[in-house]
Amino acid sequence: MNEASGASATVPSGGNPPHLVDGVVQDLEQLLSDGSYDEVKTLLEPVQPVDIAEAIGSLPLILQALAFRLLSKNEAIEVYEYLDPVVQQSLLDRLRSGEVLELVEEMSPDDRVRLFDELPAKVVRRLLSELSPAERRVTAQLLGYEPETGGRLMTTEFVDLKEFHSAEEALSIVRRQASDTETIYSLYVTDRERHLTGILSLRDLVTADPGDLIADVMTRDVVSVRTDTDQEEVARAIQRYDFLALPVVDREQRLVGIVTVDDVIDVIEQEATRDLYAAGAVQAGDEDDYFQSNLFVVARRRVVWLAVLVIANGLTTQVIAMNDEVLKQVVLLAAFIPLLIGTGGNVGAQSSTVVIRGLSTQRIQALGLMKAILRETAAGALLGLLMLVMVVPFAWWRGEDPLIGAAVGISLMAISTLAATAGAALPLLFDRMGLDPALMSAPFITTATDVAGVLIYLRTASWLLSQGQVGGL
C-alpha cells in the first residue's frame, strides 16, 4: 500500500503538517482517468473522510462527481459534510436528483443547515419539500433560529433516557441509537414533558451496576445553554467546563438539542480570526474563506475601513494646515511628526490589543474596568518617560534648535499617556454600549491618536516659540 495515502499517518515535528492528500490527489486523478475504479476504492479506503474531501475538492470539476460516486454510502455522507461549499454545490448540480435527496436526507441536521445556509433559496425550498416529514420538520426548526446562536449550532440527534430506566436498559438504548446520534458519550435524561432533569456520561453508565436506576446514577447539576445563547458563549462554556457536549434548552427548560465540542473548536477559531481581522481593519466574512475570494471581494472587504481612516487622516492634514505658521518658522519641526504620531499609535495599539483580547477571553472582568483603564494610563505615562530618554537627545541633535527637543519631549509624554488611556477606554466604552469592542482596534486608535498628537505637538511648539521670542530662548 502507498505510504503517502495516509494509512498510518504520523504528523511529524517541525514545518507544516504533511499534506496527506498531495500523493492521493495525483494517484486518484490518474486512476479515475484510466477508469480503474476498483483501485480508486482501495486507494481511498484507509484515508480519513476530511482528507478524501480535500482530495476530491482538488480534482478537476469533471472528475469530482465520478470520484464521489465511488464512495460507499456512509462514507459519501461523511465526506460530503467536509467538502468546501463550492464543491458541495457543484456536486448537487452533477448528481442525479435521487442521489442528492438520499445524501441530504442522511446528513446530520446541523450539517444540513450549514449546507442550506450556503445554497440559493430556490434550491433550499425544493430540497426541503422533498425531505421526509421528520427531517423536514427538524431542518425547518433549526433554520428558524438566529445565525450564530446555540440553536443554529446544535444537532437534534442525542440519546434521551428516562429516570426509571435501569443502567442495563439504558445501555441497550444507547446501543440501538449509536449509529443515529452525534455522540453517545453524553447522555441526557428528560421527564414526560421533555424537561431536562439530569445528565450522565457513558463512562458513568458502563461503570454502574446493571440494576441501578438512571435517577440514581445521573447528576442533576446540569450546565446548559439556551437556543438563543450566542455561539461564542456556548463555546466559552464548553471550554471552561471541559465538556464534550452541552445541552441546549428552550425557554421552558425543555431539551431541544446538543452542541458538541468539535463544532465549538471551529467557533473559537472563527472568533479569533474576527478579532485579528478587526485588529488589521479587514472586514471578516461569514467563513474564513478569504483565500477563495476574488480580487474585487478582497478589495470590497477593505475599502470601507480604508475610506473611513482616510477621512480621519484628512483631519490630521487639516490640523497641520491650520497650524502651518509655526512650521514656516521652523521647518524641521515637520521631521518629527511621523515619529511622534507613530509612537502614539503604537502605544495606543498595544493598550487596545490587550483590552480587546481580555474582553474576548473574559479575563479583564476579574480586574475591574476602571482599574484596567487606570493601569493602562499609568503604563502609557511610564512608557512615554522611557521613550523620552531615547528620543529627546536625538531631537536636540537632529533638530538643530533647542525648541524642537523641548516640544518633542513634552508632546511625547502627553501623546503616550493619552493614547494608552484612549486605547483602553474606547474598546471598554464600546463594549458597555453593546457594540463590538474590536471596532476600536489598533487602526482606529492609531488614526485618532494622529489628530490629537499633531495638535498637541504643534500647539506646544507654537507656545514655546512665543515664550522664546519673549524670553530669548
Report in angstroms the alpha-carbon separations of 51 from 11, 69, 93, 106, 418: 14, 16, 23, 21, 51
SS3 assignment, position 155:
strand
CB of 157 to a second copy, least distance (A): 13
Instruction: Give the nearer residue to a second copy in terms of CB position, either 92 or 237.
Output: 237
CB of 247 to a second copy, least distance (A): 9
CB of 378 to a second copy, least distance (A): 6
Closest CA to 273 of 285, 261, 264: 285
Instruction: Give the nearer residue to a second copy in terms of CB position, either 53 or 127.
Output: 53
What's the CA gap between 38 and 33, in Å, rounded? 13
Closest CA to 395 of 339, 318, 440: 339
C-beta separation of 151 from 227 below 8 A: yes
Report in angstroms the alpha-carbon separations of 361 from 235, 241, 442: 11, 14, 18
Instruction: Give the nearer residue to a second copy in terms of CB position, either 34 or 180.
Output: 180
Contacts of 108 (CB under 8 A, 6+ apart): 81, 155, 157, 182
Instruction: Give the nearer residue to a second copy in terms of CB position, either 116 or 336.
Output: 336
What's the CA gap between 20 and 3, in Å, rounded? 10
What's the CA gap between 140 and 160, in Å, rounded? 21
C-beta separation of 458 from 333 below 8 A: yes
Instruction: Give the nearer residue to a second copy in terms of CB position, either 100 or 247.
Output: 247
CB of 183 to a second copy, least distance (A): 8
Contacts of 122 (CB under 8 A, 6+ apart): none
CB of 130 to a second copy, least distance (A): 28
SS3 assignment, position 283:
coil
CB of 96 to a second copy, least distance (A): 29
Cell matching residue 298: 478582497
CB of 211 to a second copy, least distance (A): 15
CB of 239 to a second copy, least distance (A): 5
Instruction: Give the nearer residue to a second copy in terms of CB position, either 49 or 100.
Output: 49
Cell matching residue 422: 484612549
CB of 117 to a second copy, least distance (A): 19
What letter represents residue 422's amino acid?
A
What are 63's strand-pairing partners?
A: none
CB of 194 to a second copy, least distance (A): 15
Instruction: Give the nearer residue to a second copy in terms of CB position, either 127 or 351.
Output: 351
Instruction: Give the nearer residue to a second copy in terms of CB position, either 103 or 454.
Output: 454
What letter represents residue 457's amino acid?
Y
What's the CA gap between 415 and 454, in Å, rounded? 9
Instruction: Give the nearer residue to a second copy in terms of CB position, either 44 or 67.
Output: 44
Instruction: Give the nearer residue to a second copy in terms of CB position, either 63 or 268.
Output: 268
What's the CA gap between 89 and 336, in Å, rounded? 56
Instruction: Give the nearer residue to a second copy in terms of CB position, either 206 or 435.
Output: 206
CB of 348 to a second copy, least distance (A): 10
C-beta separation of 67 from 32 below 8 A: yes
Strands 186-190 and 196-201, by their bridges, are antiparallel
CB atoms within 10 A of CB 8: 7
CB atoms within 10 A of CB 361: 12
Contacts of 76 (CB under 8 A, 6+ apart): 68, 103
C-beta separation of 261 from 268 below 8 A: no
Instruction: Give the nearer residue to a second copy in terms of CB position, either 44 or 100.
Output: 44
Closest CA to 200 of 186, 211, 213: 186
CB of 92 to a second copy, least distance (A): 22
